[in-house]
Structure 1
């Protein structure tokens, strides 16, 4: 791999009945733009006795971005939000100073039939001046996201600004996330279409970049700001994401993100003492590991 790029393979881990692949962070690169954490959920078959159930857990200092290709997740949080996120929709929960939430298979899929689950859970760090903002939840249905065809590819602007377009989901610092699917063998010239650090996650298929092949389950990070031309094989699907890096380093402790290590310790203590806000009507609790 050329020395101006990094290649990352998913690291598999077990989440109860569900396997996820972690792509970010890893030792050599903690963030890409403001993106600080990416889990690939599935693809997996779920059904009777085997559902997606993540009990009540806390966050600070970040926004969670949920984006699905298959299945559905019901989001509930301590602000009182209740929302089913379906394929192509975006759930965007901003934790700020403190929030708790649960993520579960919704009732309409708990019907005794098997179904597929596949998507990404992404964390976006907040700028330092907004790390302690009031929590909020935003929902963007698939129909609200910019979608267009270009060079035999379908592109969906999930978040931010790219390709001369703006998503209704802008986030809190300059960023972009684009879902790209090639209908045929295709070539995309990124040129000046995106700004800042950039990474590609290969969801399906493979791409050729500067004569090198990157395959399914891998992430390629560009260390330079020089954008490039990529070749996508037919039926390849990638997520393109990145943006301007935040000025200060971010630290992670479990589900907490902050520019201040002491703030992480404080959040841990508050969670262990059960002083975080609670999801209405939910008594579940995931202990600090």
Structure 2
């Protein structure tokens, strides 16, 4: 995991120095020809609001005969958020859910006290080249809700509010933005917005959300006269209205954030908790087979990592 300081602003431009609190360069890894860039957590920044994990998947083209096959694995203490720009993924979980997620949809799986799920390329698409591009993020559950019953919600793209005006367009995935509210249930103040800005246009990022960040998916984003490139994560200073301006061409970014967590969260593998002891308990439960199985995907699983 890496952290790099931003490009130095021009002398005297203190606003450019301060508005971008941190610039994070994701760590890339190749998973069988499928590139994933992990922006959170890092050594320098563990969370932005309730977001404790942020992965950029692809964009990638899997060759014929290849597929996405994430075997059944467990979670506690978080909600996973899957959001695609291209491709399809079949989600199955230990609640009996079977759902294909497509671009613009959102899958929100709340682990609570414990859930198991798998993510695979749909059977109907296998045997030919498969494109995949999207984001997987984790939202830590707030105090008092970490051990709730597991749940799953799927909201189709057509149900999410969209906006388009003066060269700025997008979709509100979670929370409130520009007077629009997404119908996605969350347990704490959370913001997640898919944003496109045309060349030369500007979008104002209001200061109402306590902790805010932007992940640049493509193009060049200018903030206070400093340019930032694709696959960089910008964490903004609280309390400022941020002018997000497209560079020479259009830019595509994901805005996210929310209220600061009331207490510290620990992460080990797929487990998130305010208690180290609870994570140790979850490790033992997975090691000894005490989590529920995934109906329709019972034959395989991801073993507990050593160490």
Same fold (TM over 0.5): yes
Q: Spell out the pairing of 1:78-227 with structure 2 (5 A cutoff).
A: 78-110=94-126, 112-192=127-207, 194-227=208-241
SS of alignment partner, residue 144 of structure 2: helix
| Residues in 2 aligned to 1:209 and 1:188: alpha-carbon distance in whole angstroms | 11
After superposition, the CA RMSD in angstroms is 1.3
Matching residue of 2:69: 53
Structure 1 runs of 4+ with >3 Å offset: none
Q: Is residue 229 of structure 1 aligned with residue 243 of structure 2?
A: yes
- 2:175 aligns to what SS in structure 1? strand
Equivalent pair of 2:67/2:130 in contact (CA under 8 Å): no
Tell me if structure 1 keeps the 8 A contact 2:93–2:118: yes
1:162 to partner: Cα distance: 2.0
CA distance in 1, matches of 2:200, 2:69: 38
Partners of 2:267 and 2:184 lie apart in 1 by 24
- 2:84 maps to 68
Q: Which runs of 5+ in 1 are unaligned?
A: none
After TM superposition, give the deviation of residue 160 of structure 1 in Å.
1.1
Residues 1:243 and 2:258 are matched in the alignment = yes
Does the 8 Å contact 1:17/1:51 carry over to 2? no
Moved more, 178-187 or 268-277: 178-187
**Rounded Cα–Cα distance in structure 2 between residues aligned with 1:237 and 1:170:** 25
SS in 2 for 1:268: helix
Name the TM-score, length of structure 1 as normaliser: 0.96
Q: Distance in 2 between matches of 1:240 and 1:53?
A: 28
Which residue of structure 2 lines up, in the alignment, with residue 43 of structure 1?
A: 59
Shift of 1:3: 4.8
2:218 and 2:252 in contact (8 A); partners too: yes
SS at match of 1:263: helix
CA contact (8 A) 2:64 2:130 kept: no
Normalised to the residue count of structure 2, the TM-score between the two structures is 0.90
Maintained 8 Å contact 1:153/1:184: no
Q: SS at 1:31's partner residue?
A: coil
Q: CA deviation at 1:246?
A: 1.1
Contact conserved, 2:175 with 2:191, CA < 8 A, in 1?
yes
